[in-house]
């Protein structure tokens, strides 16, 4: 019985290179597909051409065909516009989650089928396992690299057509496999941060699309302690970039962002990593996505993450009538941020998740009265 033809998303990195290698060595007919998701904006910071060359070199080394697709228009419409809208609203989006749902497991999947692919594969660190009649998304064996958080918006149809060849491997082993096979990406540095920003300055990039206005930095009790370059550039819990000097009557201790009033153009800060203004025990989300197609129950206990790499936290989940969920944590959480993703787990099984809409953190002046 012949194995299914697999189209591998070759990104030009070591992970996708080893994913293609493992599938080829397992006997699958393999086709590589390089996706260009961001058009060159003239800044010289886009790594797409370098990544394309590396993907071609890997395909040549493996002896597999490679094809190319430009999804930059789809990325702009399906991911980047949402990214800008969220920042403009004062929230902090997670474009990697949306990119996986809209590009890698939608447009890429469609392109793979046009190429005759029966399944797709990527270099994500996660696992797919059939349990009964359902395809389940599981954490990777390497918990330090697990990327199921970014994949929680996938559904049954997508998981049925997907394999993650690195799900059982440690990152160090992946690099050793790449080196032993002579892959040109074996020692290539992993990409970090938001893909379309790359190594460039985040503020400078965002300012090209969202006009920023300087404004006051205040404490929750209204004391002015500095000036910010634009509220869009900051997120809850952030310490870097505030440039607050010595403040009369205040100790010499770090300042952290505890809130934003976008309408009033005010950034709120407080001293102390665990400021009470950053603490919450409950959150509410936008309508949730369930990988199985439905929640396990109307009320249930599970583990949750409100950001990537966060240790899993115990919580109680209540599914509301409109599809949103309310979550109560067993202990207070720091800097839970609207716009980010809440992802739910039952052990190693990813249940799904939703975008965080609000928390019960203490209300700042603009939240109490509508003005700063």
Q: How far is CA 12 from CA 54, 165, 203, 279, in A?
A: 5, 16, 27, 41
Query: Do 264 and 335 have their domain in common?
Result: no
As a whole number of Å, the end-to-end CA separation of the chain is 69
Alpha helices in the chain (DSSP H): 14-25, 48-62, 72-75, 81-88, 95-99, 108-114, 156-160, 171-180, 202-207, 365-369
The pLDDT score that the predictor gives to residue 212 is 84
Q: Are strands 299-305 and 325-334 parallel, antiparallel or unpaired?
A: unpaired
Number of neighbours of residue 128 by Cβ within 10 angstroms: 18
Report pLDDT for 225: 94
Residue 185 lies in a domain: no
Residue 32 and residue 116 share a domain = yes
**95 lies in some domain:** yes
Rounded mean pLDDT of 103-120? 96
Give yes or no: residues 283 and 268 share one domain.
Answer: no
Return the structure tokens found at 232: 């869009």
Q: Which domain covers residue 74, as residue numbers?
A: 6-180
Q: Which tokens belong to 147?
A: 């990327």
What the block records as the tokens of 199 is 């190594």
Catalytic residues: 99, 195
Decide: 277 and 220 in contact? Cβ < 8 Å.
Answer: yes
Q: Give residue-wise pLDDT tens across range 288-313.
A: 999 999 999 999 999 999 999 999 99
**What is the average per-residue pLDDT within 137-161?**
97
Residues 162 and 42 in one domain: yes
- Domain with 289 in it: what CATH number? 2.40.30.10
44, pLDDT greater than 60: no
Q: Within 13 Å and on the Cβ side, how many CA atoms surround 5?
A: 14
Share of the chain above pLDDT 70, in %: 94
pLDDT at 195: 63
Say whether both 17 and 146 belong to one domain: yes
Structural domain total, the chain: 3
């Amino acid at each position: 019985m012949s194995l299914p033809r697999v189209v591998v998303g070759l990104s030009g990195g070591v992970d996708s290179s080893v994913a293609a290698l493992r599938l080829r060595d397992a006997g699958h007919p393999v086709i590589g597909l390089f996706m260009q998701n961001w058009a060159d904006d003239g800044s010289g910071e886009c790594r797409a051409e370098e990544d394309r060359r590396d993907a071609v070199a890997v395909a040549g080394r493996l002896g597999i065909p490679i094809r190319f697709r430009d999804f930059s228009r789809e990325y702009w419409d399906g991911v980047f516009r949402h990214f800008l809208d969220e920042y403009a609203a004062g929230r902090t989006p997670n474009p990697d989650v949306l990119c996986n749902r809209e590009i890698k497991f939608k447009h890429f999947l469609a392109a793979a089928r046009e190429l005759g692919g029966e399944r797709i594969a990527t270099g994500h660190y996660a696992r797919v396992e059939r349990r009964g009649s359902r395809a389940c998304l599981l954490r990777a064996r390497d918990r330090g690299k697990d990327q199921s958080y970014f994949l929680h918006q996938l559904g049954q149809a997508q998981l049925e057509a997907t394999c993650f060849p690195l799900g059982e491997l440690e990152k160090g082993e992946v690099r050793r496999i790449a080196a032993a096979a002579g892959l040109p990406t074996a020692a290539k540095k992993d990409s970090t941060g938001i893909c379309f920003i790359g190594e460039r300055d985040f503020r400078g990039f965002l300012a090209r699309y969202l006009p920023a206005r300087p404004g006051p930095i205040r404490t929750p009790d209204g004391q002015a302690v500095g000036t910010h370059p634009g509220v869009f550039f900051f997120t809850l819990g952030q310490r870097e970039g505030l440039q607050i000097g010595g403040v009369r009557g205040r100790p010499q201790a770090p300042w952290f962002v505890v809130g934003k009033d976008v309408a009033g153009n005010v950034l709120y800060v407080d001293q102390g990593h665990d400021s009470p203004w950053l603490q919450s025990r409950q959150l509410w989300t936008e309508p949730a996505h369930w990988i199985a197609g439905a929640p396990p129950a109307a009320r249930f206990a599970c583990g949750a993450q409100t950001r990537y790499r966060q240790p899993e936290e115990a919580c109680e989940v209540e599914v509301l009538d409109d599809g949103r969920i309310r979550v109560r944590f067993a202990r207070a959480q720091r800097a839970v941020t609207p716009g980010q993703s809440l992802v739910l787990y039952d052990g190693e099984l990813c249940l799904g998740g939703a975008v965080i809409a609000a928390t019960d953190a203490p209300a700042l002046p603009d939240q109490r009265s509508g003005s700063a």
